[in-house]
Amino acid sequence: MFGGLNPKKMQAMMKKMGIAQQDIDAKRVIIEKGDGNIIIDNPSVIKINMQGQTNFQISGDIREEEGIKTEEDEEDEESEEDKQEQDIELIMEKTGCTKAQAEKVLKSCHGNVTEAILELSG
């Protein structure tokens, strides 16, 4: 990045700019996704604090695993369906619209109930 600077001068310059970095001794990093995990074995992890924000720089041996549905995942899906049904009922109650209208507007409002009610009330 700044070729020719010695490491101590680089650290001093970064500190002056409000940047602090710290090596993290990690054995493995797992990033959980909805459809599986990204696993980084033998990682090199650096924590970087810059002007009040914390970031992590990670490198290592990367592999991906597909997700396996558990009972807990299925319960989460069911509770999500229950929540959406409750949202639709609330929209119908507040606006007097049909279920089909409530579903359509809720979908177009990306699940935002307040926005859906406002759109149907306007």
Does residue 61 sit in helix, strand or coil? strand
Residue type at position 40: I
Q: Is pLDDT above 80 for 105?
A: yes
pTM: predicted TM-score of the whole model, two decimal places: 0.46
Sign of the four-CA dihedral 57, 61, 65, 71: negative
Judge whether 9 and 1 are in contact, CB under 8 Å. no
Which pLDDT score is estimated for 55? 93
- What is the number of residues in the chain? 122
CATH of segment(s) 7-66: 2.20.70.30
Confidence category of residue 21, pLDDT binned at 50, 70, 90:
confident
The C-alpha atoms of residue 117 and residue 88 are separated, in whole angstroms, by 10
DSSP letter for 109, please.
Answer: T
The C-alpha atoms of residue 49 and residue 25 are separated, in whole angstroms, by 17
